[in-house]
Amino acid sequence: MTPRLKRIWRRTMKSGKSLRSRDLGSSRAGEQRSVRPENIVWIFGTGRSGSTWLGSMMEGLDGYAMWNEPLVGNLFGNFYYFRAGDRIGKAGKHFILGERYKEMWLGPMRDLVLGGAAARFPEVTWSGYLVIKEPNGSIGSPLLMEALPESRMIFLIRDPRDVVASSMDARSGGSWLKERRDDQKRRVEPEKNPNAYARMRANSYVEQIEKTRQAYRAHGGRKVMVRYEDLRADTLKTMKRIYSALEIPVDEAELARSVEKNSWENIPEEEKGEGKFHRKAKPGGWREDLTPEQVEIVERVAGSLLRELYPVRSTA
């Protein structure tokens, strides 16, 4: 072994032990955990990309539960990467999320997730699975996957133009999200300044997807990348591919039933349409929804991701 390899080896062993050994430590502390870290399936990406639909299909299977947006990724990621970005490493010894002590704070982060999961989902057995739908916490996905390296990961993506179009609709007057968050002060309203909103949403798309991609690349465990468009085109086939890549055994007939139950066609007509949570579910719908200027804004902001993930350029 070369000295360099020895150093890597020691670091790897140290990291693996101290994080995983927290389970033993926590058991000593009397925590009763029902969810195994390796049976946690994270869904990261961005909002309005079909994560609720995907999560519901997975939750529909026997032995599964879904944790709907704990926002733990947002809690840590937003602070670590943005609000305190310039402090990382620089503050050295003292800053609570300092690089030198990452090993120490990843442990409590892991405890926070596992403890929270056990408290909320006591019904999930040792052999059961917990799907954590966390698109809006994707900013912290690299930290979470580092804290829970045994967990499985789904990187869910959707064309940013459709994501922006869907978000604009969701935040317009009378829509489901606008009503839910009417008390919030938002700096940019899509109705007052649609182009500024498109730019802001495209920027948050890039932030979230880039962080998810970073986590996906670094994650040494089981993982799969899923395009919303593939899920729409052939849901059952894509779901089977997900389970296969994640190495989770699944009963095909049960999966088919869950896919059917959660299909677009089975959503009542009155729950679908403009301003509703279930809007169009139509890949490429942005061509009807966005102005050419807005398309250009999104393509400019999310250009490199678009070229990588959706190589056919806009014709708007």
Partner 1 sequence: MPVLRYRKVLEVLRGAKAFLNLEAGVTHGTVSEPTRTDPDGRSAGGIAPENMIWIFGTGRTGSTWLAAMMEEPEGHKVWFEPRVGTVFDPQRFQRHGGKHFILASQYKDVWLRSIRNFILDGANARFPELAGGYLAVKEPGGSVGAGLIMEALPESGMVLLIRDPRDVVASWLDATRKGGWQTRRRGEDGRRAESLAETNPNAFVRRHADAYLHHVGSARRAYDAHRGRKVVVRYEDLRADTLRTMKRMYGELAVPVDEARLVQAVEKHSWENIPQEEKGQGKFYRKATPQAWREDLTRHQVKTVERITAPLLEEFYPTGPAEQEG
Binding site for partner 1 (CB under 8 A): 5, 8-9, 12-14, 16-18, 20-26, 28-30, 67-72, 75-76, 78-79, 83-84, 86-87, 90-91, 93-97, 101, 104-105, 107-109, 111-113, 115-116, 118-120, 149-150, 181, 183-184, 220
Measured between alpha carbons, how far is 177 from 180 in angstroms, rounded to an integer?
5
We find the least distance from the C-beta atom of residue 132 to partner 1, in angstroms, to be 10
As measured in angstroms, the least distance from the Cβ of 179 to partner 1 is 14
Q: Which is nearer to partner 1, 86 or 288 (CB)?
A: 86
Question: Cβ closer to partner 1: 82 or 264?
Answer: 82
Residue 251 identity: D
CA distance 291 to 311: 21
Ramachandran region, residue 19 (left: φ > 0; alpha: ψ -120 to 50; beta: rest): alpha
| Relative orientation angle of helices 51-59 and 252-261, to the nearest 10 degrees | 130
Shortest distance (Å) from residue 120 CB to partner 1: 6
Question: Closest distance between partner 1 and the C-beta of residue 137, in Å?
Answer: 9
| Smallest distance from partner 1 to CB 119, Å | 5
Cβ closest to partner 1, residue 126 vs residue 266: 126
Query: Measured from the CB of residue 311, what is the shortest distance to partner 1 in angstroms?
Result: 27
Please give the angle made by the CA atoms of 52, 57 and 58, to the nearest 5 degrees. Answer: 100
Tell me whether residue 29 or residue 233 sits nearer to partner 1 (CB atom).
29
Q: Give whichever of 86 and 269 is closer to partner 1, judged by the CB atom.
A: 86
Q: What is the edge-to-edge ordering of all strands in the sheet holding 223-227?
A: 64-68, 129-133, 40-44, 152-157, 223-227
Is residue 67 within 8 Å of 133, Cβ to Cβ?
A: yes
* Residue closest to 138 by CA, chosen among 82, 209, 84, 221: 209
Residue 114 vs 209, nearer CB to partner 1: 114
DSSP state of 191: T
Q: Which residue has the tokens 């059952």?
A: 236
